[in-house]
Homo-oligomer: A and B are copies of this chain.
Amino acid sequence: MVIEIDFNSDEAFYVQLRNQIVIGIATSDLKEGDTLPSVRQLAEVVGINMHTVNKAYSLLRQEGFVQVDRRKGAVIALDMDKIRAMEEIQRELKVLLAKASCKSISRAEIHEMIDEIYRDYGGR
């Protein structure tokens, strides 16, 4: 799976990494049990510092997407704290949909976008 940093983005590097990996899991590019590159490897490949990668991995662990084994490295391992996840998503959706509504994007158009994106996800 290809991971890369947009050095012109205003998103923090470790957030970019986190997001790409979460998307990778959703699209089944990364499957349960797969191991991520070591922090040093990935850091060298994408051209950033080791600690920045480590920060992304720690965040992924904290959010329940990977488990970290000191010898194997970071392993994809989803914990299903569905309630907390739904609460967080509802908070974020509230702001996102407010923006959409203000820009005259209809409920139907949102549903279409959801379906189109979800078509690539949910292979689990």
Which residues of A come within 8 Å of B, CB atoms?
19, 22-23, 25-27, 64-65, 78, 80-82, 85-86, 88-90, 92-107, 109-111, 113-115, 117-118, 121-122, 124
Provide the main secondary structure of the chain A interface: helix
Point out the residue from B19, B98, B109 that lies within 8 Å of A25, measured CB to CB. B98
- Report 8 cross-chain contacts, Cβ distance below 8 Å, ordered by A residue: A25-B102, A26-B102, A80-B104, A81-B103, A89-B100, A93-B114, A104-B124, A111-B111
Q: Provided the pairs A19-B95, A111-B114 are in contact, do residues A101 and B124 lie with their beta carbons within 8 angstroms?
A: yes
Of B85, B88, B99, B114, the residue contacting A22 (CB under 8 A) is B99
